[in-house]
Each structure stands twice: as structure tokens, then as C-alpha cells.
Amino acid sequence: MSRVAIVEGIRTPFIKARTLFKDIPAQELGRIVTRELLDKTELDPDLVDEVIFGNVSQPPEAANIARVISIMSGISIRKIACTVHRNCASGIESVTSAYEKLICNYAEVIIAGGTESMSNIPLLYPKEFAEFLAGLNRAKKGPGRIKAMLRFRLSFFKPIIGVMLGLTDPTCGLNMGQTAEVLAREFGISRRAQDEFALLSHKRAIASRDKLKEEIVPVLPPPKYGILVDKDNGPRDNQTLETLGKLPPYFDRQSGTVTVGNSCSLTDGAVAVLVMKEEKAKELGYKPLGYIRSYAYAGLEPSRMGLGPAYAIPLALKRASLKFNEIQLLEINEAFAAQIIACEAALSSKDFAYTNFGLDKPIGSVNREILNVNGGAIALGHPVGSTGTRLILTLLKEMARKNINLGLVSLCVGGGQGAAIILER
């Protein structure tokens, strides 16, 4: 079977929500990267069969955001587009979904990616308010209308914060930070271990600034177009254990360990990659960044969602007939330091391997020297729908720099899933 190639990719800088990109909607972020990808690869837009974007918050004004992006990028209206949603792995889902369509020969060239503007997730009004308005509309005049008006309550104006709603698990009611606390408790992960991990993320991200620039298209944010944004604004130059240590636990004020400092932050950003079969890439004269070897998604308890990678990685390895120690470079998304440390613990646990996979040896221990070498979401941020594609792009570019052949990307997924994808060169 022929391989599926990731030909090239590009992303916007990842920008903390409500800062520099606050006036750029998600579809515009997606448009910027798609257009730049077309230009960078000198690809004839008419060759693109489909645009697939991952997006979690699904802006109400841009339903099926991938379609909006496709049209805004100047791709023919005769071409198709769909938006995929697997929560935090939506940016992986877009790529694996492209893979499936390519393998089925339902498409030859696909632009896959992810986009998210967490700045623009709207506030919601209580349902009672909507009912009040509908009632007011129905009561045309006279006493009925006055009666309808009298149903007004000030509490109608108390908005529900859409972002918080999205980050709260709909089946167990815990928000994502609280699920991280669940893992910290289960695996006994200290505050200090988490803060140290967070510090490492910032240090690596700062050190990799120039490397990361290779995957970034600079953006001039409207409406002023006056500031050039050409790097991620999450990484802190002067991050220290002391400052991290001063932050109060955010999700469990009493005994908690998870702070805003050792979690990823709300972020805006978009990524796009060009995906096609190896032969097609050759035909068009491309030298792909790499190829998809295998991938897997796995399910687990929603309250332990952070452990998703520990469930998905063994499956992806099995499908690729690879051992964990053969992987030369790793990107595991840093939703929370606690969650990623828990994954390390589970992956190196004999018990975990036996209980879940019937293996008599642990999956393998995670070597931090090959893990998230350019920093991770704690420093760079986590625009939920985009991160998956970003990890693939960042990993492939680093594999080329190091001239190595096997890499693995994995994410935990809100709602209780894990995603893993193995890439080769």
C-alpha cells in the first residue's frame, strides 16, 4: 500500500487568547494559513480536492468553518470541505481523516489543519432569557405583552462563559483542570514536579524561537495591520520555579496542585498541512516532510482523560509493528503538566501494561530528552482544534533537522480519549 505524505505545513503564531489576535475570527486564521500553504508550495488551488479543518468551538457565524476557509482562500467553490471535531485531537482527526480519504482514492490532494480562536468563543445567555424574548415576541400587545415583560429577571444578563462550558466534561461534570487533579492524586504527582515540567517547557520554547519561526507565517492583525506578529507570545523569557511556585492552585483551592502556570493557556492559532499520496507528491515534484505510518484513538474514563496518550500510544505502536523505544522523537501535548507526568508513569508501569493490554512488560519509559524538545502547550499554548496539526508539523520539521526517521505525536482528549499518530521520513 502506498504511503500518505505530509508535504509541507505552516501555522500562525500561537497567541494567548484576548491579546494580539482577539479581532481575528477562527475562519480568518484558517484562511491565512491555507492561503500561505498554497503560496509556499506553489500549489495550483484547482488541485485541492478537499479542505478538512479541525475546530472545537465552532463559531456560530461560521458553521462548517472548513468550507468558509476554503472559499476565503480562493479555492474553487466546486471543491468540498468539512470540519471535524474530536475535541483536543481535532487537528489530528483532520489529518487522519485526510489519510482515509486518500487511501480510499476518494481524493488526491487534501489540505488538512486546525483552527481555533478561543478569544472569540461567545458568552451565552441563560435559556430562560431566550424564553423570555420569545414570549415577548409572541405577545403582540395589551396586557399579554405587559405580563410577558414582567417576567424579566436581572439574572438573565448573567452570561454563561462559553469557554468554561466547553472545557467542562459533559458526562462527569469535571472541568479539564479538575481531571488533571484526578490524575495528580491517582499518581501522586507533586506540585514541584509539575512546576519543573512547566519550566522546562518555557525554557525549550524560548531556546527554539528561531527553529519555530520556520513553521510560522507572520500575521498583521486587523483592523490596524500595524503590529507584526511573527512569534508565539506564550513562552516566558524569565520564567522561574519561584514565580511558578507562587501561583495558587486554580481548580482545587484546598489540596490542589494544578495552577495556571503548569497548565496550557487559552490560545488563538491555526495550522494547515498539505496531504497527498507519496506518488502524487513525487508527480508534483515535492519533497514531503514525512509520511504517516500508523495512528490510533482510544477511549477511557472522561474523568481521567489526561491519561489518553497512555492508551492510544500502545495501539498505534502495535499497528505500526513498532516498539516504544524505537521512537526517536516524541510530541505529547502538554494540556497539563500533571497529565503528561501521569502518562509517563503509566507508560513505564508494568501493571498498567498488563491490566490494559495484557502485556507482561511496560510499554516503555519516556525519555524527556526526546519529548517536546521545542517546548509544548504549557509555554506555546493550546488552541484546542489546532494543536494536533501543530504537533505533527513541529515534530516533522524537527525530525528533518535531526535527520531521524521515526516520531510519534500523542494527545489527551477531553471527554476521555487519547490520540496517537506515528510519522516516518
Partner 1 sequence: MTESIFYKEIYNVGIIEIDQPDSKVNTLTTELMKEFEGVIEGISRSKIEGLIITSRKKDVFIAGADIKEIEGITNFVEARSKSKEGQAILNKLENLSVPTLAAINGAALGGGLELALACRYRIAASSEKTKLGLPEVALGIIPGFGGTKRLAKLVGIMKALDMILPGKALSYRDALRAGLVDKVVYEKLLLEEALAFIKDINAKKWLRRPKRKKLLNLFLENTAPGRAILFSKAKKNVLKNTKGYYPAPLIALDVIRRCRRLNLKDSLDVESTEFAKLAITGISKNLIKVFYLSQEYKKLTGVEGKPIKPLIIGKCAVLGAGVMGGGIAQLVSFHNIPVKMKDLNYDAIGKGLLSAYKVYKGAVSKRILNKNEAALRMGLISGATTYNGFKKVDIVIEAVVENLDIKKKVFKEVSGVVSDNTILASNTSALSVTEMSKAARNPRNVIGMHFFNPVHRMPLIEIIKGEYTSEETVATTVEFSKRLGKIPIIVNDTRGFLVNRILLPYINEAAIMLEEGISVEAIDRSAEVFGMPMGPLTLIDEIGIDIGYKVAKILEEAFGERMRVSQIFDLANKNGLYGKKTGKGFYVHRKKKRIVNSEINGLLGQIKSKNVKSHTGEDTIKDRLFLLMINEASRCLQEGVCLRPSDVDVGMIFGTGFPPFRGGLLRYADKVGIQKIAEKLSIFSKDHGEKYTPSKLILELAKSGKGFYNS
Interface with partner 1 by CB under 8 A: which residues? 28, 31-32, 35-36, 38-40, 42-44, 71-74, 218, 220, 222-228, 230
Dmax (CA) of the chain: 78
Q: How far is the CB of 7 from partner 1 (least distance, A)?
A: 15
Cis peptide before 221 (omega within 30 of 0): no
For residue 67 the three cell numbers come to 468550507
The single residue of 85, 88, 104, 202 carrying the catalytic annotation is 88
Q: How far is the CB of 269 from partner 1 (least distance, A)?
A: 17
Nearer of residues 44 and 100 to partner 1, judged by Cβ: 44
Q: How far is the CB of 243 from partner 1 (least distance, A)?
A: 32
What CA–CA distance (Å, rounded) separates 12 from 272?
Answer: 9
Q: Which residues contact 61 (CB under 8 A, 6 or more apart)?
A: 25
Q: Is 369 exposed, middle or buried (0-12, 13-18, 19+ CB in 10 A)?
A: exposed
For residue 26 the three cell numbers come to 477562527
Q: Please identify which residue in the block is written with the cell numbers 495528580.
A: 184
Catalytic annotation on 412?
yes
CA-nearest of 319, 51, 335, 77 to 184 is 335
Q: How far is the CB of 396 from partner 1 (least distance, A)?
A: 19
Nearer of residues 288 and 309 to partner 1, judged by Cβ: 288
Contact 204, 372 (CB under 8 A): yes
Nearer of residues 225 and 360 to partner 1, judged by Cβ: 225
Please measure the distance between the N-terminal and C-terminal CA atoms of the chain and give it in whole angstroms: 16
Q: How far is the CB of 234 from partner 1 (least distance, A)?
A: 21
Q: Say which amino acid occupies 279.
A: E
Nearer of residues 44 and 301 to partner 1, judged by Cβ: 44
What CA–CA distance (Å, rounded) separates 58 from 64?
Answer: 8
Nearer of residues 61 and 128 to partner 1, judged by Cβ: 61
Report which DSSP code applies to 371.
Answer: B
The single residue of 202, 264, 343, 412 carrying the catalytic annotation is 412
Q: Mind telling me the catalytic residues?
A: 88, 382, 412
